[in-house]
Amino acid sequence: MPSFDVVSKIDQHEVDNARNQASKEIAQRYDFKGTDSKIEQTEDGIVIRANSEGRVDAARDVLESKMVRRQVSLKSLDAQAPQQAGGQTWRQLIKLKEGVSKEKAKEIVKEIKANKLKVQASIQGDSVRVSGKKRDDLQDAIAFLKEQDFDLPLQYVNFRD
């Protein structure tokens, strides 16, 4: 029985490259001189530090533009609100969303069933497995899922006949 998996993964190498490029640009740009602006990777995600809230927003814009150039979907970035980090320092945490959460998986399965496609969908950990009798039915399911907006960058992998 043909099947495929719906997953949401981030190419961590491309995220690192985009972060490094943004750091280099911030270090060289005239409008960031003397602002102690930094972009660093932590366990929680990417942290942007600067001496004002406006500089944090500008640094985030630079980071987002580098992410787009590297084909990293902005849907996978979860920017928290900028916070004051003591003195005149501001920081913003940007979490990286990876994997399909249980709620999103249930929503994907519900949409597939509501559309009455000739496939079955089941939740498998942090992915959704879609199976059907014909390859054409699976291709219709992929086309349908691409039209929907689940606020996640979705990939379709493990297509098996």
Q: Where in the chain is the domain with CATH 3.30.70.860?
A: 3-8+100-160
Cα angle for residues 41, 149, 81 (degrees, 5° grid): 35
R_g over Cα of the chain:
20
The 10s digit of each residue's pLDDT in 57-75 is 999 999 999 999 999 989 8
| CATH domain 12-96 topology | Alpha-Beta Plaits (3.30.70)
State which CATH number among 3.30.210.10, 3.30.70.20, 3.30.70.860, 3.30.750.80 fits the domain covering 3-8+100-160.
3.30.70.860
- Report how far residue 134's alpha carbon sits from residue 41's, in angstroms, rounded to the nearest whole number: 44
Q: What is the pTM of this model?
A: 0.82
Residues with Cβ within 8 Å of 141's Cβ and at least 6 positions away in sequence, in order, are 112, 117, 119, 130, 132
117 close to 104: Cβ distance less than 8 angstroms: no
Instruction: Give the per-residue pLDDT at 64.
Output: 93
2 close to 131: Cβ distance less than 8 angstroms: yes
